[in-house]
Structure 1
Amino acid sequence: MKKKGLLATLLIALMIVLTACGEGETSNGTSNSNSNTGGNSGKEQTYKVAISQFVEHPSLNAVKDGIIAALADGGLVEGQNLVVDFQNAQADFNNLQPISQKIKEGKPDVAVGIATPSAAALVDEITDLPVVFAAVTDPLDAKLVPTLEAPGGNVTGASDSNPDAIHQLMDFIAAEFPEVKKVGIVINKGEPNAVVMADTAKARLAEHGIELVEAAIANSSDIPIAAQSLVGQVDALYVTLDNTVVEAIDILLDVAHQHDLPFFTSDRDTVEAGAFATVGFKYYDHGYEVGEMLLEILKDGKNPGDMDVRKPQNLDFILNLGTAEEMGITVTDEMKAYVKDQESNIIE
């Protein structure tokens, strides 16, 4: 009996030792202590990012891709320690509130709104979680933040518009296309971002004695009629960062090519798709910058309200020489001279 009692005592002692070792090490002998465990018994913290995007088109898709890439470069990889809840409103304003409500109920670590309508819906719905916006033309006009410097509250982000870009493009039209007296624009006035940019362009063109002629639409199905209505009335076409219009940009490009109308735009992706010129940047880079802001919130614990709203700084002219001839444009050396980085921003 004494031997049995001693054996039982030794077994209990051994179990205690093994248990203590197991709590301090994983199966490969590494320590489980981790500042990101959040009390999850040694498991690395998984972050959840919810993204509401107004519509899928090249520019906004590039923003999303840039965000995901920046997070991955910062150590947050989808399928490993990152869950991405992506919601697409399909350019339907009626979808925005339900999407925002769903995101709020999912309690992500941060919610991201890509494009003004999606960002505005998130800001209206969510007050107790970080909200970051991207591809927003005028955060102040959209009432997303009260100021661009340390806006306070739970919201910050990055604007994709700099009025200087519009001014430079309108000045370019006036200087290099003296025959242009009227510029046509197809616009959805339900998008505040489009209205702000159109007003900026209109004012700048007026300084050069050029008129901006508007063809208003309610949705993308109106674009063919609106585009055709401008034929014969205008000498060139221009589009803003109007999500409804950009979603169906091929229709406007066809009209421009068929009727030899120089086509100017506010985003690089539309130039790459067949427009002639813009002053802008790569939307992937814009998204990447937003992704870096997310990392500051998620990993560094920064308060969105303490983070300044960012806007594009490295603007450049972007010309598509390959489509110029189809629009009846003779590209001169003077036009090319506007482009700072000609290797990257002159598209053959």
Structure 2
Amino acid sequence: MRRREFLSALGGAAAWPLEARAQQPERIRKIGVVMAYKESDPNGQVQVEAFRQQLRKLGWMEGSNVQIDVRYAADDPAGIRALAVELLGRGPDLMVSNSNFVTSILQSEVRGIPLVFVSVSDPIGSGFVKDLARPGGNVTGFANFQPSMGGKWLEKLREIAPKVEHVGLVLRPELPNIGYLKSAQAAASSFKIKLVDLHAHSRSELERVIATFADGPHRGLIIAPNVVNFANSDHIVALAARYRLPAIYPFAFYAKKGGLISYGFDAADQFRQGAAYADKILRGAKPAELPVQHPTRFEIVVNLRTAKALGLSVPLQIQQFADEVIQ
């Protein structure tokens, strides 16, 4: 073989490994998601689909370069921990949590794995981050409501149901829900309303506390955002209808199911934002440097069918101000 032909052949052989490396498929990244809903709950499904769709827009295709494992834990503590351990056993690059309760359990399990939370209350007081602007550690994400929302919910409930004199705030006794209770208590005197806290850790406790509270005239409910109220949203709306209690809810899906009024933000959109953070982290960003964000826009949804069933006449001003009116 001539020397020139030999060198050419040698150069081609040396290029083979480089070509082979270039043709190797990209490593599939793994994301584990634990939701505070039952798997049958369409609200959780909508939020997860929003997360998936946004990731696709950002270039992450399931089966090609990303694997997304979703688990629905509802409000079962042992179940949440078991699902977290299962997903961590799959070697995820990132975990995503929904609600304070789920986040607190995942935080104790994930250790150094990045964790993005979606829709949690008071992330600093809950111990998830040290600072909103620079969270530190391996956890960051998207918060839902400031503690002052308790007073806002009471105000909106009084506007749509002006005869209400006793209001029960249905909560899970965790620090953020206590914050909503305190702000509602601070506002109650100006509306001449007696406010009571209705603690519930489960579906059966929801049934008991609401039934007991409903035994009296001119009563209404505030439903705080927490894992129990997420997992039992249909049941809560049904209880409010059964006992003819005007109620205000933190998310639109309650009103769309038959709740009287909701005042909150777009939960599905916050999962799209969560996908944007997932994208950044998978591409090398550090959770410690991604600021915790709060919603900047809130929406009101009013259900006129429910108002009519309760004998309420919704003021025109509320209907005009609402983002959606269900006829």
Please state which band the TM-score falls in when normalised by the shorter chain: 0.7 to 0.9
Aligned partner letter, 1:315: F
Please, what is the CA RMSD of the aligned residues? 2.8
> Match for residue 294 of structure 1?
278
- Distance in 2 separating the partners of 1:61 and 1:115: 15
Deviation at 1:113, TM superposition (A): 1.2
> Match for residue 215 of structure 1?
198
Report if aligned partners of 2:31, 2:68 keep a CA contact under 8 Å in 1. Answer: yes
> Match for residue 256 of structure 1?
240
Compared CA separation, residues 118 and 14, structure 1 to 2 (3 A): same
Is structure 2 residue 323 aligned with structure 1 residue 347? no
- Distance in 2 separating the partners of 1:48 and 1:251: 34
Aligned-partner SS, 1:86:
strand
Is structure 2 residue 29 aligned with structure 1 residue 47? yes
Deviation at 1:226, TM superposition (A): 2.2
Higher Rg of the two aligned structures: 1
Deviation at 1:63, TM superposition (A): 3.0
Deviation at 1:271, TM superposition (A): 1.0
> Match for residue 300 of structure 2?
317
- Distance in 2 separating the partners of 1:173 and 1:221: 25
| Pairing of 1:1-348 with structure 2 (within 5 A) | 19=13, 23=17, 33=22, 42-56=24-38, 57-163=41-147, 165-189=149-173, 191-233=174-216, 235-299=219-283, 301-339=284-322, 342=323, 345-348=324-327
| Amino-acid identity (%) | 21
- Distance in 2 separating the partners of 1:255 and 1:153: 42
Aligned partner letter, 1:187: L
- Distance in 2 separating the partners of 1:246 and 1:109: 27
Aligned-partner SS, 1:106:
coil
Deviation at 1:230, TM superposition (A): 1.6
Aligned-partner SS, 2:221:
strand
- Distance in 2 separating the partners of 1:117 and 1:89: 11
Instruction: Answer with 141-150 or 93-102: which moved more.
Output: 93-102
Give the count of matched residue pairs. 324
Aligned-partner SS, 1:337:
helix
Q: TM-score normalized by structure 2?
A: 0.87
Report if aligned partners of 1:60, 1:283 keep a CA contact under 8 Å in 2. Answer: no
Q: Which runs of 4+ in 1 moved over 6 A?
A: 11-15
Aligned-partner SS, 1:83:
strand
Aligned-partner SS, 1:318:
strand
- Distance in 1 separating the partners of 2:149 and 2:42: 20
Aligned-partner SS, 2:88:
helix
- Deviations for 1:213-240, whole angstroms, at most 9, x for unmatched residues? 2333331123222221122335212211
Identify unmatched segments of 5+ residues in structure 2. none
- Distance in 1 separating the partners of 2:175 and 2:281: 28
Deviation at 1:106, TM superposition (A): 3.0
> Match for residue 36 of structure 1?
none
Aligned partner letter, 1:198: L
Deviation at 1:208, TM superposition (A): 2.3
Aligned partner letter, 2:247: F
Report if aligned partners of 1:165, 1:280 keep a CA contact under 8 Å in 2. Answer: no
